[in-house]
Structure 1
Amino acid sequence: MVKDNKPMNNTENDFVFGMHTVTELLHGDRDVNKIFLQQDLNDRNASTIKKAARQRHVQISTVPKSKLDSLSNSGNHQGVVAAVAAYQYATVDDLFAAAEAKEEDPFFIVLDGIEDPHNLGSILRTADASGVHGIIIPERRQVGLTQTVAKTSTGAIEHVPVARVTNISRTIDELKERGVWVFGTDMSGDSLWQTDVTLPLAVVIGNEGKGVSPGVKKHLDGQWTIPMRGHVQSLNASVASALVMYEVYRKRMN
């Protein structure tokens, strides 16, 4: 459990508050981003919420009552507020089902630590346009499905399933076990233009500044690079993913 004094933009989350309501929420299926507990709250109900949150791997933050008053618009929060996803996440099985419904080989985008909501929104928009069957994101160190993402996606968020997973590396291994080839983008990889994309495929797009993390790279089948001839040998994450998605789309349509 951590103390949390950072401001939170209320337009990025939906908030649920009250002991009974939050307890029921944690025992349901809706995605929960974070639990805010009032400082020095140590009664039985608080212990129950802490236990349920930990079982679901939901971060718990201790905050002053004033922050809870702000998050709940001075509602009767009883010392607890939950930040929940504005949009429901899919499962990895849902992504496979989307490909199967179209009678196509799976094509997924895996995002490794994308932090800018505008990038995620743009990626969703291009994914919808290029026939991607779904996007996979990690629970931590990654922007989720917020209202800013939804607005930037111009509606694509309603059509492209997004699965949020606990561990990207483990998920990559599971994809490979199900017959999916997994590649990442990297400056030292093979040329994107010379790759075979006519197979079940997932492509990992890395963080805006750091790229694909070293731990994730160990689980890849290979790496692709986007040929460039300019002086700046890097691209914005949403631009890089768009080039990858349309190259796969172009080759699969030919």
Structure 2
Amino acid sequence: MAGNSQRRGRRTSNKKGATVGSGGQRRRALEGRGPTPPAEARKGHAKQRAANAKVKRATASGQSRRPSGRGAKSTSELVAGRNPVVEALRADIPATAVYVQQYIDSDDRVREAIKLATDRGVPLLEAARPELDRITNGLNHQGLVLQIPPYDYAYPEELAEIAFSRSEDPLIMALDGITDPRNLGAVVRSVAAFGGHGVVVPERRAAGMTAGAWKTSAGTAARVRVARATNLTRTLEAYQKAGLLVVGLAADGEVELHELEALAGPVVIVAGSEGKGLSRLVGETCDLRVRIPMPGGAESLNAGVAAGIVLYEAARRRA
């Protein structure tokens, strides 16, 4: 009877299709889905729910309003884009979460970002593209976004206390009108290299500890404190009352760097912007204004380079 034949290989249906268990042939062949993602990246997994809750708490605390002024925390920051996120993770910049777009086209950068985040224990959160567009204000995030926690600024007086607790004379850098985070990061790196005790920046119209500053500091921002001053002039006056000499860097300074013996004692070195230099009130507050000899004829140096030169001279005299 038709359909009941027991002959081997007999076709019992005219319907064509893939061989059972083959996954399809040629164009219809199934592609591998790659290695299993970590639990934090799997939608609906308990570890991802726990990571989401942790990030929400961190975001809420970072974006809540805090009293402004010395010691206040900055708001959290987002780094968007595949290359920036990978570079930030390579530089060990602090992170509270990595957002990965749903159904993202994975490439080497995405895989490296996920691996770096997993190795560091940074939560991986899956998000739809509209959500990433919203939190980045429409930036070209390419499906990857890194969240950086708010920086916990010190109080200016804490920097001197750090030195006194080590039975050392304070060596502090203060920045006046420096708006480039990379300059701030370079100064932090020089302070770490030459044994300084911290950096002071104004609260307004000045660079803060952003991802760019962290990256330029090459990891030294993890051990050098940065303090934020509500009013830089008053902060410098408070340092003077505590026995510190305030030295300003200026192209027309009355003393050359190699003549400045005061660098061996408690001192605050103030650097201004390359274009405008020290502001009027800050310049008037300084006990001395020092110039760096430049026989090559350059008119000025940026704050990062100038700070490195002066801090080296201070370390040489203290040695």
Same fold (TM over 0.5): yes
**Does 1 or 2 have the higher relative contact order (CA < 8 Å, sep 6+)?**
1
| Number of the residue aligned with 1:26 | 66
Give the paired residue count: 197
Paired residue secondary structure (2:307): helix
| Number of the residue aligned with 2:239 | 175
| Number of the residue aligned with 2:292 | 226
Contiguous gaps of at least 5 residues in structure 2:
1-57, 77-132, 139-146
Q: Is the 8 A contact 1:16 1:84 kept in 2?
A: no
| Number of the residue aligned with 2:179 | 115
**Which of 93, 97, 100 pairs up with 2:161?**
97
1:192 Cα offset (Å):
0.5
Distance 2:148 2:221 in 1: 17
**Which of 170, 176, 195 pairs up with 2:260?**
195
Paired residue secondary structure (1:203): strand
User: Quick one: structure 1 residues 169 and 85, their matched pair in 2 at CA, closer, same or farther if it must change by over 3 Å?
Assistant: farther
| Number of the residue aligned with 1:160 | 224
Paired residue secondary structure (2:285): coil
Distance 1:95 1:21 in 2: 24
User: Quick one: structure 1 residues 21 and 240, their matched pair in 2 at CA, closer, same or farther if it must change by over 3 Å?
Assistant: closer
| Number of the residue aligned with 1:132 | 196
| Number of the residue aligned with 1:214 | 280
Distance 1:212 1:241 in 2: 14
Distance 1:27 1:227 in 2: 43
Query: Does 2:314 correspond to 1:235?
Result: no
CA deviation string 1:62-118 (max 9, x = no partner): xxxxxxx833789xxxxxxxx997321111232122102321111100000111111
Contiguous gaps of at least 5 residues in structure 1:
1-14, 35-68, 75-82
1:235 Cα offset (Å):
1.1
Paired residue secondary structure (1:26): coil
Percent identical among aligned pairs is 37
Distance 1:27 1:248 in 2: 36
Q: Is the 8 A contact 2:248 2:289 kept in 1?
A: yes
- 1:35-50 aligned within 5 A: none
- Considering fraction of residues, name the structure with more strand: 1
| Number of the residue aligned with 2:31 | none
Q: TM-score, normalised by structure 2?
A: 0.56
| Number of the residue aligned with 2:313 | 247
Distance 1:169 1:228 in 2: 28
Paired residue secondary structure (2:275): coil
Q: Which amino acid aligns with 2:301?
A: L
Q: TM-score, normalised by structure 1?
A: 0.70
1:119 Cα offset (Å):
1.1
